[in-house]
Amino acid sequence: MGLKIKGNDDRVRGAITALLLLGRERLRRGETNDLVRASLAEYRADPEGFKAARRMWPEVRQPGPLTKPADVAYYQDLLTAADRLAAKLAESKIQFNSLLELDNYLAASLGRVAPG
């Protein structure tokens, strides 16, 4: 039987949170190239490492270590877009057949948010 991930599944919220937190760290380091897809790939490569590092990071709604105004603005735009997407997915009947399909959807949807 195939994997079914509904739009309101914890795995969707977890992936969104991971891409935001890892994206914020990548942004802090100046790694802006394909930020969303790279953050999701990093999360999938080491989910346990992400969980351990997450405990030390500021809450997802905070700009945390970002100091450049353009980076803060980009992160806020990404956060707003992620909130809208999460709400849309929770209300919809969309289902994903794999984590890769979910990640591709998130990357296509949130990858449109342009850095400041």
Q: Which of the four pLDDT bands, split at 50, 70 and 90, describes residue 7? A: confident
What is the reported pLDDT for 61?
Answer: 93
- The b-or-e profile of 36-73 (16+ CB within 10 A means b, else e) is bbbbbebbeeeeeebeeeeeeeeebeebbebeeeebbe
DSSP state, residue 4: -
> Would you state the structure tokens that stand for residue 65, as one six-digit string?
């270590």
Residue 1 has pLDDT above 80, yes or no: no
What is the reported pLDDT for 101?
Answer: 95
Give the pLDDT confidence of 12-34 residue by residue, as tens digits: 999 999 999 999 999 999 998 89
What is the reported pLDDT for 3?
Answer: 77
Q: Where are the domains of the chain?
A: 5-110
> Would you state the structure tokens that stand for residue 51, as one six-digit string?
């969980």
